[in-house]
C-alpha cells in the first residue's frame, strides 16, 4: 500500500519550546515527531491538541550538547486544527511533526538506529537499518548544535519536510525526512550540513506499511449465484 504524507509542521524555535502552527491530519494512520534539544538540561515533553500520547524511540546524544529523538503515535486521533507542543525550560528545542497514511495502525514500529558526530565534520550517516517488510515508511531525524544556520540536505531520495537551523542562545538545529523504501534492503542515508559542525546526532527508524487487501471471488456454483463457469479473480486494492 502506498504511504502518503498527509501534513507536516514544526514548532517555533526557542529556548523554552512552543506550539506549532495548526495542520489538518485527517486520514493519517501514524504521526512521527523528531525533537532536537539541549542535552545539558532536562528533555522537553511533547504533546498535541488532540490528546495523543507518543511512544519514544532511543535517544541519541552528540559529543557536547545536542540530543535528538524520534517519537510516534500509531492510529492517532486526527483532524483539523491539529497543533504540537514542546514544553521544557531552557531546552533550546525544536519539534518537527509529520503525519502519514498507509502505515499499519497496530504495532507499526519495526527497526531503528542512530549515529553521532563531533568536531570538524560536514556529513553524517544515520546508521544502517534493514526493514523487515517491503514498502516501509522510513523516517530520518537530525539534531545539530554549534553550527552556523543554513539548510541541511539528505541523500538516498529522502524528502525533508521541515528543518530549522542552529541559533546560538536560542535553539538547536534539526529536521525530519522520509521515504517509502520499496523492496526491503539495507538503508543508510547521509545528512550534509552547510559548514563544519561541532556536535550532531542522527536517528532513523522504519515503520510497517498497511497490508494490501486481496479479495477472493468464489465460483458462482459456490456463491449461490447460479451454475455459471468457475472463476477466481484476485483484486489488489491500493
The number of residues in the chain equals 238
What is the pTM for the complete model shown?
0.89
Q: CA gyration radius for the chain?
A: 21
Q: What is the mean pLDDT of residues 36-48?
A: 95
The rounded distance, in Å, linking the Cα atoms of 62 and 40 is 11
Q: CB neighbours (10 Å) of residue 221?
A: 12
> What would the DSSP string read from start to end of 10-30?
EPPPBTTEEEPPPB--TT-SE
Write out pLDDT tens, residues 136-190: 999 999 999 988 778 999 999 999 999 999 998 899 999 999 999 999 999 999 9
Looking at the 3D structure of the chain, how many domains does it have? 1
Flag whether pLDDT at 121 surpasses 70: yes
Q: What is the mean pLDDT of residues 228-235?
A: 40
Domain range enclosing 189? 4-237
Write out pLDDT tens, residues 178-203: 999 999 999 999 999 998 888 999 99
Amino acid at each position: 500500500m502506498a504511504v502518503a504524507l498527509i501534513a507536516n509542521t514544526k514548532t517555533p524555535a526557542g529556548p523554552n519550546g512552543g506550539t506549532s502552527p495548526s495542520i489538518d491530519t485527517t486520514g493519517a494512520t501514524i504521526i512521527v515527531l523528531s525533537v532536537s534539544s539541549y542535552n545539558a538540561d532536562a528533555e522537553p515533553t511533547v504533546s498535541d491538541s488532540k490528546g495523543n500520547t507518543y511512544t519514544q524511540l532511543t535517544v541519541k546524544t552528540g559529543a557536547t550538547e545536542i540530543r535528538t529523538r524520534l517519537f510516534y503515535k500509531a492510529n492517532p486521533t486526527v483532524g483539523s486544527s491539529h497543533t504540537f507542543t514542546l514544553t521544557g525550560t531552557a531546552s533550546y528545542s525544536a519539534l518537527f511533526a509529520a503525519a502519514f497514511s498507509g502505515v499499519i495502525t497496530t504495532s507499526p514500529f519495526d527497526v531503528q538506529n542512530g549515529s553521532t558526530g563531533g568536531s570538524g565534520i560536514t556529513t553524517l550517516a544515520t546508521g544502517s537499518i534493514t526493514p523487515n517488510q517491503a514498502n516501509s515508511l522510513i523516517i530520518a531525524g537530525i539534531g545539530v548544535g554549534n553550527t552556523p544556520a543554513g539548510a541541511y540536505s539528505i541523500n538516498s531520495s529522502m524528502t525533508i519536510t521541515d528543518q530549522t537551523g542552529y541559533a546560538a542562545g536560542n535553539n538547536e538545529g534539526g529536521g525530519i525526512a522520509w521515504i517509502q523504501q520499496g523492496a526491503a534492503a539495507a538503508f543508510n542515508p547521509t545528512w550534509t550540513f552547510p559548514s563544519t559542525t561541532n556536535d550532531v546526532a542522527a536517528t532513523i527508524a522504519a515503520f510497517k506499511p498497511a497490508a494490501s487487501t486481496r479479495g477472493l471471488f468464489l465460483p458462482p456454483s459456490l456463491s449461490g449465484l447460479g451454475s455459471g463457469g468457475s472463476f477466481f479473480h484476485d483484486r489488489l486494492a491500493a
